[in-house]
Amino acid sequence: MKGAEFLVKALEHEGVELIFGYPGGAIMPVYDALLDSKIRHILVRHEQAAALAADGYARATGKVGVCMATSGPGATNLVTGIANAYMDSVPMVAITGQVATSLMGTDAFQEVDIFGITMPVVKHSFLAKTAAELPRIVHEAFRIARSGRPGPVLIDLPKDIANTVAEYEFHEDDTSEEIAEPSKESITRALALMRESRNPVVYAGGGIGMANALEEFRAFIETTRIPVVATLKGLGALPTTHEFALGMMGMHGTKTANHAVQICDLLICVGARFDDRATGRLNAFAPNAKVIHLDVDRAEISKLRRADVPVIGDLRHALKALTCKLANIEPWRRECSASKETHAWDYAAPGTEVYAPGFLKELSDRAGDDSIVACDVGQHQMWVAQHFHFNRPSQHLSSGGLGTMGYGLPAAIGAQLAFPNATVINVSGDGSIMMNLQELATLRRYDLPVKIVLFDNRALGMVRQWQELFHDKRYSEVDLSDNPDFCRVAESMGIPAFRVEDRADVSGAIDRLLAEPGPVLAHVLIHQEANVWPIVGPGRSNSEMMHQHEVAREVAR
Amino acid sequence: MTKFTLQLRVKQSEGALVRILGVTRRRRFDLLHLTADTSEDGHFLDVQMTVQADRAENTLVRQIEKLEDVSQVEVVEPDDSASERRAARSTAR
């Protein structure tokens, strides 16, 4: 048996069903071995999409996503997707072909030090030096990718190792790792702070979904009745329509969520990392709050904000241990609920053009709880976070940490392959879609019924918005008025498409999107100057939110 | 500015030392001194490094602890034997 066959056999052993990839010279032995495997390979049209699709698959399923590319440019094209997975703690194994060991270090054709290039953005990486060690490497790679705080792992495989004939030998050692329970002392101290608090807030992050702790989290909230604010990745940990859910916090968070955090006396951070987009100016963030920080990653504790009580370990254990009735907080909870009602979104916008938030609200209401939304990055991404309802975090695939334009379409492909019968929607923008447009061909090839909603404002909207608000309207390189005709582009790749220009046509457009049995693209024109509101300016505290009506007043003066 | 010395035991593996130095640089710690020796059994590298930064000691310690190949991290008093060896070498010249 050859090394490449070892690799494939080991992947089968790990339960891999799908690999996203693109062949080339150095990885050819593995592609040869795949012909005799039951693993399904999905051929994308650019390696970046392979990594991003594996990421989308992993987020939607909770399983490890696998992507593969050849050496050199194939490998470097994976890097953005690997970094994306790293920043959002997504379990992934990336396999790259490498030139033969005798050629390594000689500047050979398509040689690149992918092991070195990816070092800052992987949880760990392996360079295979013998065929015999491949089964162990694969097993280790999967264990590392999914254990504790998940992340991407790289396996670099030189071509001669892939071609080496050896005896397949693998005795799996029992490496299933139990995550440590949090210390009793930390639980006691956390409970004491909770019982003292009059205005506590739970700050819910992506860790809840990744720890499979939805059930424990919801029981914790239902019992303690503490109001919840969410990060981008924490949306859906508590259903976003739940009475206690105050919405997203941070730069484009709700007024209620940010205000609650700014005045709370206790902040319980659950699987989140005090990212700058969530906290605003850090030294003005939750200024009156003591902090309880629950996380599996000890390195996140007091990294940015000092934790009064760290609770390190398995979230499920921690949340169970902290579930108790609290006597003092009912007036506060009612105050938060009232604020949420006062500041509810208003979908009555002036004009007759399509209003993106209203479009997304209606789409969300009609697509139902089983739908999955993958978005790209920019204004539309924030509108999705604000106006879509999420029942679970795995329903919302969004590039939070890295902010990768071009994430949405490949991620939707990954999710649709994992759940062939689900309604998978890619919400994109006219900037982002062009970053991985070639994947329309992948949709067609595998006949994946992804619904694409392309909001088009003929501009790089989020950058345009910043230039308008924070750079004195000095617009620099944000004009996209020469966009192609997106409907014709889609149709040329075999994807039916239609245009929506008028608000009166939105319901009909959503009918058509949801009724179409195969892939479909709705090209939705929106006002060029539509902005995401509210917004916290760069370097500002979350107490200083800018709202649309206030900015309009400023301009009128 | 904090300045401290770490004693690490690291599995001999592809890129292990580069990985540690990469984390150190990315987390904005400046390297002042470094020694690395293979352990007697040949399976490990014993690394001693002195760094300085505006950030707390634990910011770096916790990140290095997470690396797969790192089996021990300790904040120690700087080991004089290293500077003695340097001194001996310069005398020998």
**pLDDT at residue B62, rounded to an integer:** 96
Residue to test with chain A: of B68, B70, B71, B73, most A Cβ within 10 A: B68
CB-based contact A203:A272 (threshold 8 Å): yes
Whether chain A has a CB inside 8 Å of the CB on B28: the answer is: no
Residue to test with chain A: of B14, B24, B26, B64, most A Cβ within 10 A: B14
**Residue A180 pLDDT level (bands cut at 50, 70, 90):** confident
Check CB contact under 8 Å for A120 and B26. yes
pLDDT digits (tens, 9 = 90+) for A143-156: 999 999 999 999 99
Mean pLDDT is lowest, of A74-88, A236-250, A388-402, A536-550, for A536-550
Check CB contact under 8 Å for A303 and B59. yes
Q: Is the pLDDT of residue B86 over 70?
A: no
- The residue of chain B with its CA nearest to that of A148 is B66
Q: Is the pLDDT of residue B83 over 70?
A: no
Q: Measure the CA–CA gap between A320 and A244, rounded to whole angstroms.
A: 19
**pLDDT at residue A548, rounded to an integer:** 87
pLDDT digits (tens, 9 = 90+) for A296-344: 999 999 999 999 999 999 999 999 999 999 998 999 999 999 999 999 9
* Distance of residue A134 Cα from the nearest chain B Cα, in angstroms: 15
Partner A, chain B 31-90, Cβ-Cβ below 8 Å: 56, 58-59, 62-63, 65-68
Range A237-250 average pLDDT: 97
In percent, the amount of chain A with pLDDT more than 70 equals 98
Of A226, A249, A209, nearest to A332 by C-alpha is A226
Q: Measure the CA–CA gap between A164 and A1, rounded to whole angstroms.
A: 8
Q: What are the residue numbers of the active site of A?
A: 47, 109-110, 159, 462
Range A444-457 average pLDDT: 98
Residue A244, classed as helix, strand or coil, is coil
Q: Is the pLDDT of residue B93 over 50?
A: no
Backbone angles phi, psi at A506, to 5 degrees: -65, -45
- The residue of chain B with its CA nearest to that of A115 is B15
Residue B79, classed as helix, strand or coil, is coil
Q: Measure the CA–CA gap between A506 and A499, rounded to whole angstroms.
A: 10
pLDDT digits (tens, 9 = 90+) for A194-213: 999 999 999 999 999 999 99
Beta-bridged to residue A127, according to DSSP, are A156
Per-residue tokens: A384: 């999705």
Q: Is the pLDDT of residue A51 over 60?
A: yes
Of A379, A465, A385, A390, nearest to A430 by C-alpha is A379
Q: Measure the CA–CA gap between A498 and A491, rounded to whole angstroms.
A: 9
Neighbours of A348 (CB within 10 A): 6
| Secondary structure element (H or E) that encloses residue B48, with its range | strand B44-53
Of B68, B79, B26, B39, nearest to A125 by C-alpha is B68
Per-residue tokens: A9: 């056999």
- The residue of chain A with its CA nearest to that of B63 is A299
Neighbours of A401 (CB within 10 A): 19
Q: Is the pLDDT of residue A365 over 60?
A: yes
Q: Is the pLDDT of residue B81 over 90?
A: no
Of A175, A3, A23, nearest to A96 by C-alpha is A23
Q: Which residues from chain A sit within 8 angstroms of residue B19, using beta carbons?
A: 119
Q: Is the pLDDT of residue A267 over 50?
A: yes
Per-residue tokens: A266: 């206790």
Residue A97, classed as helix, strand or coil, is strand
User: Which of B19, B62, B68 minimises the CB distance to A119?
Assistant: B19
Sequence-separated (6 or more) residues with CB below 8 Å from residue A326: A194, A195, A197, A200, A224, A225, A226
User: Which of A123, A127, A144 minimises the CB distance to B14?
Assistant: A127
Q: Measure the CA–CA gap between B81 and A367, rounded to whole angstroms.
A: 69
pLDDT digits (tens, 9 = 90+) for B25-79: 999 999 999 999 999 999 999 999 999 999 999 999 999 999 999 999 999 987 6
> A213 burial class (0-12, 13-18, 19+ CB within 10 angstroms)?
buried
Residue to test with chain B: of A119, A149, A154, most B Cβ within 10 A: A119
Check CB contact under 8 Å for A144 and B68. yes
**Residue A555 pLDDT level (bands cut at 50, 70, 90):** low
**pLDDT at residue B78, rounded to an integer:** 79
Q: What share of chain B is helix, strand, coil (3-state, %, to 5)?
A: 35, 40, 25
CB-based contact A237:A393 (threshold 8 Å): yes
Per-residue tokens: A285: 């963030």
Q: Is the peptide bond before B78 cis (omega within 30 degrees of 0)?
A: no
Q: Is the pLDDT of residue A43 over 60?
A: yes
- The residue of chain A with its CA nearest to that of B13 is A126
Q: Measure the CA–CA gap between A316 and A327, rounded to whole angstroms.
A: 23
| Secondary structure element (H or E) that encloses residue A268, with its range | strand A266-270
pLDDT digits (tens, 9 = 90+) for A407-446: 999 999 999 999 999 999 999 999 999 999 999 999 999 9
Q: Where are the alpha helices (DSSP H) in A249-398?
A: 255-263, 276-279, 315-322, 330-342, 356-367, 379-387
pLDDT digits (tens, 9 = 90+) for A498-534: 999 999 999 999 999 999 999 999 999 999 999 999 9
**Which amino acid, residue A266?**
L
**pLDDT at residue A168, rounded to an integer:** 80
CB-based contact A221:A238 (threshold 8 Å): yes
Per-residue tokens: B33: 């001194």
pLDDT digits (tens, 9 = 90+) for A100-122: 999 999 999 999 999 999 999 99
**pLDDT at residue A174, rounded to an integer:** 61
Check CB contact under 8 Å for B68 and A124. yes
List Cα–Cα distances, A331 to A256, A328, A440, in angstroms.
Answer: 15, 8, 52
Q: Is the pLDDT of residue A557 over 60?
A: no
Of B38, B37, B10, nearest to B24 by C-alpha is B10
